Amino acid sequence: MPGGKLSDQRAKALWRLIHDEIRHLPVGDERTALAAALHLDPANRAASIDKRLLSARDRGDFGTQPSGKPHGYDAVRHWWGVGVRLLGHAVDERLDYLADHPAEWQGYFNEVDLPTYRTPSPGAQPIFADLFITTVFMRGRFVHRRITERVITARRDGVAYYTARALPENDDASTAIPVRAIWGCTGERVPSSHGEPILTRLWFPTSLKRGQRHYFSSEALVGDEVGTPRLAINVEVDHHGIAPGRLLNSIPVSGLTIRVRFDENDLPDACWWYADVTERERYVRPGPGDGRSLDMTSQGTVEHTFTDPCQPLANYGVAFGWPRK
């Protein structure tokens, strides 16, 4: 841990690290037990660990047995014990990693509480995105190129690749590799059946250990023959989430940023951002005074950085409306 910090600041930084590792444990009941036992739930203020575990059980945090009855004390205590061992292993690995990358300690000294992320789906990609920048170049009313840069943190050992989906315009089984690797990865087409999404595995130079970070970038290209005009640039969070967005001298340094450069001969008449809404709601233009409206530059570009954390199982994006021809 960096020197020059007061002991209470260092203690708080270490607690934030522990708190962050609890949030990203892969097993639900163990994570629930840790959250209850370690006072992470402000609504559960029982005096002892046992009482906090039983309070969480009684209000249904652990679910119920197949019979519909609450789980017994032994089961809840077992999850607490397993959770402690998992947490110890995770913190040990994270501290080892930070010993080699001391500059990354700074994020834990932030006085703002770390964001809470909902539990990802069982099949979610085992990574967390610290930085996710996607830049789109339009040709007419269609996407021509989409370049995406990512800085990710592995959420388990042995993370060897990231799976990227082709643009909707390019979901063509005849395409060899619909997403092209640019930097920090190599591309390999995932075999698929008719009607399935066209996927590409972006392989890392070496498999990542839990807590290890990696930068890589990729590009999706679309031919001239496309169908319906594009109405939004969407990012689906099919992994463990994206960090809150932050700019440094107008440059994105964390979180999700979407940039769109429109064709100067075909500009939209309105642009706005959306977050964690239904597909129908994405295309509803914001009314006057709505902070989601985006201004276009004189070069025909819009950009938005999402300052709130991007949650697993959600969609975020920039939508636009076209003038009638």
pLDDT at 5: 59
pLDDT at 249: 82
Per-residue model confidence as pLDDT tens digits over 238-286? 999 998 888 888 899 889 999 999 999 999 999 999 999 999 999 999 9
pLDDT at 226: 61
**Model confidence band, residue 12 (pLDDT cutoffs 50, 70, 90):** confident
Choice among 6-10, 58-62, 63-67, 293-297 with the minimum mean pLDDT: 63-67
pLDDT at 318: 98
> H or E stretch including 76?
helix 73-100
Contact 305, 245 (CB under 8 A): yes
pLDDT at 175: 52
Average pLDDT, integer, range 61-85: 85
- The percent of residues above 90 in pLDDT, for the chain, comes to 46
CA distance 305 to 203: 27
pTM of the predicted model, to two decimals?
Answer: 0.68
**SS3 (DSSP) at 155:** coil
Per-residue model confidence as pLDDT tens digits over 75-116? 999 999 999 999 999 899 889 888 888 877 887 876 555 567
Quick check: 225 pLDDT over 60? no
Contact 89, 97 (CB under 8 A): no
Tell me which of 101 and 218 has the higher pLDDT.
218
Average pLDDT, integer, range 168-185: 74
pLDDT at 207: 95
Strands 251-261, 301-305: parallel, antiparallel or unpaired by DSSP?
A: antiparallel
Per-residue model confidence as pLDDT tens digits over 162-175? 999 877 766 555 55
Domain spans in the chain, listed from the N-terminal domain onward:
7-109, 127-321
**Model confidence band, residue 219 (pLDDT cutoffs 50, 70, 90):** very high
Percent of the chain as helix, strand, coil, to the nearest 5: 25, 30, 45
The CATH number of domain 127-321, selected from 2.40.10, 2.60.40, 1.10.10, 3.10.20: 2.60.40
Quick check: 195 pLDDT over 70? no
* Arithmetic mean of pLDDT over the chain: 86
CA distance 97 to 212: 7
Average pLDDT, integer, range 55-84: 85
Choice among 23-27, 43-47, 310-314 with the minimum mean pLDDT: 23-27
pLDDT at 169: 64
pLDDT at 19: 83
pLDDT at 88: 93
Average pLDDT, integer, range 45-56: 88
> H or E stretch including 88?
helix 73-100
CA distance 218 to 258: 15
Average pLDDT, integer, range 289-313: 93
Residues sharing a CB contact under 8 Å with residue 111, sequence separation 6 or more, in sequence order:
12
CA distance 310 to 240: 9
**SS3 (DSSP) at 200:** strand
**Model confidence band, residue 319 (pLDDT cutoffs 50, 70, 90):** very high
